[in-house]
Structure 1
Amino acid sequence: MDTITMFHYNDLHSKFQTWPQLVSFLTERRQAETLVFDLGDHADRTNPATEVTKGRANVRLLNEIEPTAVTIGNNEGITFPHDWLDALYEDATFPVLLSNVYHQDGTRPDWVTETLVLERAGMRIGLFGVTAPYEELYPELGWQVESPHEATARSLELLADCDIIVALSHLGFYADERLATAFPQLDVILGAHTHHVLDDGVVKNGVLIAQAGKFGKYVGEVTLTVDSGRVIAKRATLHDLSDRPFDGPTEQTLRQEYVEAQRLLDVTVAVTPGYASDWFGPSPIAELLADGLTEWCDAEAGVIPSGVLLDRLPPGDVTLDMLHRICPHPINPCVLTLDGTTLIRFLEDVHEEAFTSMHVRGLGFRGTVLGLPTLHNIESTGGRWTISGKLIEAARTYRIATVDMFTFGPLLPYLAEQRKRYFMPELLRDVLHETIKRHHVLRKG
């Protein structure tokens, strides 16, 4: 009997403080035949080093650990502009497995490997990757995205002569369960996206599904016991890295990346009298953003959660670093086209205390609570809503500038079905940046 060992982790989100512990673990435990996989969302533009290097810092860190292969998550796929993603892996020393994202002309990007075959313990191991198919967003960035099931079926045909099939998935746990149900010929799905902590993995339809939380707190280990040319046992475990020692050279590398990032972000873009911030009261900085967002989107009115601005702007110089710090979210502008009845429902819902005090994780939001909505060109008098001083009419449609996170389903499910347009690749802080520059000319000399 022989054993095939795989280490996997997912959704680091550029939380580099845990990276030296992960490197320490791999340095100690990895052997020549061990497989190591990153399952996507390694990069997150909330981190200054990721932002200013367009993700190249993340690839440099990955090169150091020499992963067997990686796949991409939604943070690489739909928060990076097309040219960033297309150039991200130019210096990578590892394969990027991805079967369901293409250029708009249908060609596969140069940095993508569709399938990979390795040999371990006398067995042919077939590998492929699939990522969450954000069908409305990828085309806005110049990509095509394919159904993961269609891509999986094609990859399995290419890997038909393999003894073991492993999927690198950034689909999320429930989508992984559906994948396992549809494709029992899979042996293992190494998962990500939903940040599930699967201590012992989950077996669905004979397929072992493993996932290792988020932020580098855990490394997953999957062992396959093989005998006489077949897998006779599968086992998944998690290793908590909390008490691991830190790898010294990695810490030094990260310090250098951070210093360089701060240098590149220390650029003054405007001088202002300052803008206060309040998540549950009047917020001048949020009012400025709501105004700018409405103009940016050529909309009639704007609605943003005040909690997207994490802090005030003090009087004086405004730098790129300040804008990144107070508005770190990979959130895009969005225009909703709503009839008056739906618009009033939206406005009332976002004013509910349960909504304003909600602690949100994911959907691009990197703050604490949503806070009260900040409105531009919308008022409520005596319980009656107006736009530009005119009562909202039930049958009329309105173009409302807002944040994309409101339209994804979990927060306000009915908005997911409304007509919308996403503005990409611009992020909220790009709008804030341009709005501040427009209001406050930077005088030279």
Structure 2
Amino acid sequence: MKIFNWIINYILIVLLFLACSKNESNPEITTNQSKEITIFHINDQHGQLDNFSKIKHIVDEEKQISNVLLVCGGDMFSGNPVVDNHPQKGFPMIDVMNTVGFDVSVIGNHEFDYGELILNDRFNQSKFSWVCANINTTNSTITQPNAFKTIEINGLKITFLGLVETNGKENGIIPSTHPWRVQNLTFEKFENSVVKYADLKENEQADVLVALTHLGESSDIKLANSYPYFDLIIGGHSHTVTNQTVNKIPIYQAGSNLNNLGKIKLTIKNKQITSINYQLINLNNYTNFDSAIKEKVDYYNANSDLDNVIGFAEAYHSKSNVGSFYTDILRKQMNVDLTFQNTGGIRNTLDAGDILKREIYSIDPFNNGSVTYTMTIAEIKNFLQQTKIAIYYAGVYISQVNGKIEIRDINNQLLNDNTTLTIGLNDYIPAVYDTYFTQTPTIKPYTTAEGLIEYLQNNSNSINYTQVNSYFQYQ
């Protein structure tokens, strides 16, 4: 009888064990549970370092209560001489982002500004992943980035697909960077690339599919309307603060220059977002910081050799005033008849008082070379009229009268179409508009920023261009 009872008890224990095991493997029990994750995001920091210590503090606090990912919407470089003129260009930015703990970034158009070799060095330096689906580096020294990255955290799988804009050249498909610096790369319009990933969420068995883009707000809206594969879109490029839902897809962008940190808090169940809460954190108003990151950033700032006084400004100069200052000083430095500069190449204002070397590099951060061409007035007019480029200029007077462009000399005498002028400019403009600049240029032995610095160092006159208006765009 005792043996019989023992057998019965044994059978009951086995059956109970099997029942429990079955319940543990039941997908309905494991997948029906809601889980939370917080995704922090920045974009278009353009070399700014100072607020990363605050980001580290915010992210570390959130990690105490939630699953956390930290991502970047591209354009890390070009805008802060501490980063852009470091002996290893871009190195401080990647070093700080590695230490803060970024997980993934899309490639922005200004990531190419230093050239292919340096970008590949920055890829190799990074401890986070880079993603971009519409670039091919087969003929380049750059390692091919993955189109997407799936990150698994506490049982959640989050997939990020990267896309970069390709509006850099009228007769080409490249990002908005110096064309000579992407000669060995090929790009595809994002519309042609994204359709290949319509089933990405299913293929990756992801809980959330994110488009991590550097396309700009209008293209993100198009992405949501025409390619609704994504659970959300985190963007960059247009420097906008974006928090909107299009075609049931949330779209976020956090401005620029590391002024803000976006915080997306998601609740996920059965591979669907059941709730979403968004907060835009103003980093300039946030007071706490991580001391180790601040110490690292302070070190880079203190050892950049950028605080030499090279001139004096009698008044504050807006960007348009700076455009007039920039072109006139460059005209004198290059000893040419006419200079002009694309308005997008003027990246900062100028404060009154001492002019520091760092200010010139922040105004002109792209390390563009200085070149000269000889062109007729007719060729100049054709370029301005056909491209409708917005420029600042110096050396002549340019106006539009009854739909026609008039160019006059400094004595206000109208120049005829056969008159020849020597033109000085940065080499980005002829690289983008190569159909209008067909000659072989004369190359100066300095970048445009170095040319400005050299002139200011060698001339003691204070500058004041607040009453000068040298803007032109053909309408």
Mapped to 1, the partners of 2:353 and 2:428 lie a distance apart of 24
Instruction: Report which stretch shifted further, 207-216 or 129-138.
Output: 129-138
Q: Find 2:124's aligned residue among 90, 93, 98.
A: 90
C-alpha RMSD over aligned residues: 4.6
Corresponding residue of 1:81: 115
2:105–2:128 Cα contact (<8 Å) kept: yes
- Match for residue 302 of structure 2? 259
User: Do the aligned residues in 2 keep the contact of 1:130 with 1:169 (CA within 8 Å)?
Assistant: yes
Conservation of the 8 A alpha-carbon contact between 2:138 and 2:144: no
User: What secondary structure sits across from 2:255 in the alignment?
Assistant: coil
- Residue 262 of structure 2: aligned partner: 220
Count of aligned positions: 385
Shift of 1:111: 6.4
The 10-residue stretch of structure 1 (15-24 or 335-344) with the greater mean CA deviation from structure 2: 335-344
Deviations along 1:289-311, one digit per CA (max 9) or x if unpaired, are 2255577xxxx843358996959
Partner amino acid, structure 2, of 1:190: I
1:102 corresponds to which of 136, 143, 147: 136
With over 3 angstroms needed to count, the CA separation of the structure-2 counterparts of 1:140 and 1:407, relative to structure 1, is closer
Which residue is 1:351 aligned to? none
From 11, 16, 28, the counterpart of 2:44: 11
- 1:372-396 Cα offsets, whole Å, 9 max, x none, are x32289852664343xxxx334xx9
Q: Distance in 2 between matches of 1:165 and 1:253?
A: 34
Match of 2:89 among 18, 33, 54: 54
2:359 matched to which residue of 1?
325
**Long gaps (5+) in structure 2:** 1-33, 170-176, 398-406, 460-475
* Matching of residues 295-374 of structure 1 within 5 Å: 301-304=338-341, 323-328=357-362, 329-331=364-366, 332=368, 340=377, 343=380, 373-374=393-394
Counterpart position of 2:425: 402
Aligned residue number for residue 154 of structure 1? 196
TM-aligned CA deviation for residue 63 of structure 1 = 0.7
Which residue of 1 is the match for residue 253 of structure 2? Answer: 211
Paired residues of 1:291 and 1:302 also in contact (CA < 8 A)? no
Contact 1:3 1:225 in 2 (8 A): yes
Distance 1:9 1:122 in 2: 25
One-letter amino acid of the counterpart of residue 425, structure 2: T
CA distance in 2, matches of 1:427, 1:312: 24
The 8 Å contact of residues 7 and 36 in structure 1, kept in 2 or not, is answered as: yes
SS at match of 2:192: helix
The amino acid that maps onto 1:101 is I
Pair 209,286 (structure 1): closer, same or farther in 2 beyond 3 Å: closer
Match of 1:248 in 2: 291
TM-score with structure 1 setting the length: 0.70
- The answer to whether the Cα contact below 8 Å between 1:337 and 1:418 also exists between their aligned partners in 2 is no
Deviations 1:225-247 (A, max 9, x none): 22234333344332223133122
The superposition leaves residues 49-92 of structure 1 with CA deviations (integer Å, 9 ceiling, x where unpaired) of 44213011001101112112112222222x22222212112221
Q: Give the aligned residue type for 1:4.
A: I
Residue pairs, 1:103-252, within 5 angstroms: 103=137, 105=139, 109-110=142-143, 112-120=145-153, 122-136=155-169, 137=177, 139-141=179-181, 142=183, 143-156=185-198, 160-162=202-204, 163=206, 164-198=208-242, 201-241=243-283, 242-252=285-295
Provide closer, same or farther for how the CA distance between residues 384 and 48 of structure 1 changes in structure 2, counting only shifts above 3 A: same
Partner deviation per Cα, 1:17-49 (whole Å, 9 max, x = no partner): 222212211121135731110111223343324
Residue matched to 1:442: none
Q: Cα distance, 1:186 vs. partner?
A: 1.1
Aligned partners of 1:168 and 1:23: how far apart in 2? 21
Distance in 2, matches of 1:92 and 1:330, equals 22
1:419 lines up with 2:436 in the alignment: yes
**Residues 381-414 of structure 1 deviation map (CA, whole Å, 9 limit, x = unaligned):** 664343xxxx334xx9978443579899xxxxxx
Change (3 A) 1:150 1:284: closer
Does structure 2 retain, via aligned residues, the 8 Å contact 1:385–1:392?
A: no
- CA change 1:123–1:252 in 2 (3 A) is closer
Offset, 1:5:
2.0
Distance 1:383 1:98, change over 3 A: same
Partner of 2:449: 429
CA positional deviation for 1:177: 0.7
Shift of 1:342: 7.5
Whether the 8 Å contact between 2:308 and 2:357 is mirrored in structure 1 is no
Give the Å deviation of 1:131: 1.8
Tell me which of 46, 50, 68 is aligned to 2:103. Answer: 68
Instruction: State the 1:178 CA deviation.
Output: 1.1
User: 1:384 aligns to what SS in structure 2?
Assistant: coil
Moved more, 107-116 or 240-249: 107-116
- One-letter identity of the residue aligned with 2:149: L
Counterpart of 2:302 in 1: which secondary structure? helix
Per the TM alignment, residue 325 of structure 1 is displaced from its structure 2 partner at its CA by: 3.3
Seen in structure 2, the aligned counterparts of structure 1 residues 275 and 69 have a Cα distance that, compared at 3 Å, is closer
Larger Rg: 2
Secondary structure at the counterpart of residue 40 of structure 2: strand
Instruction: Tell me the TM-score normalised to structure 2 length.
Output: 0.66
* Gaps in structure 1 of 5+ consecutive residues: 315-320, 349-354, 357-369, 409-414, 440-445
Q: Indicate conservation of the 8 Å contact 2:239/2:256, yes or no.
A: yes
SS of match in other structure, 2:127: coil
The answer on 1:44 being equivalent to 2:87 is no
- Contact map agreement 2:81 2:365 (CA 8 A) in 1: no
Bigger mean CA offset, 157-166 vs 168-177: 157-166
| CA displacement at 1:185 relative to structure 2 | 1.0
Residue 155 of structure 1 and its aligned partner are, at CA, apart by: 4.2
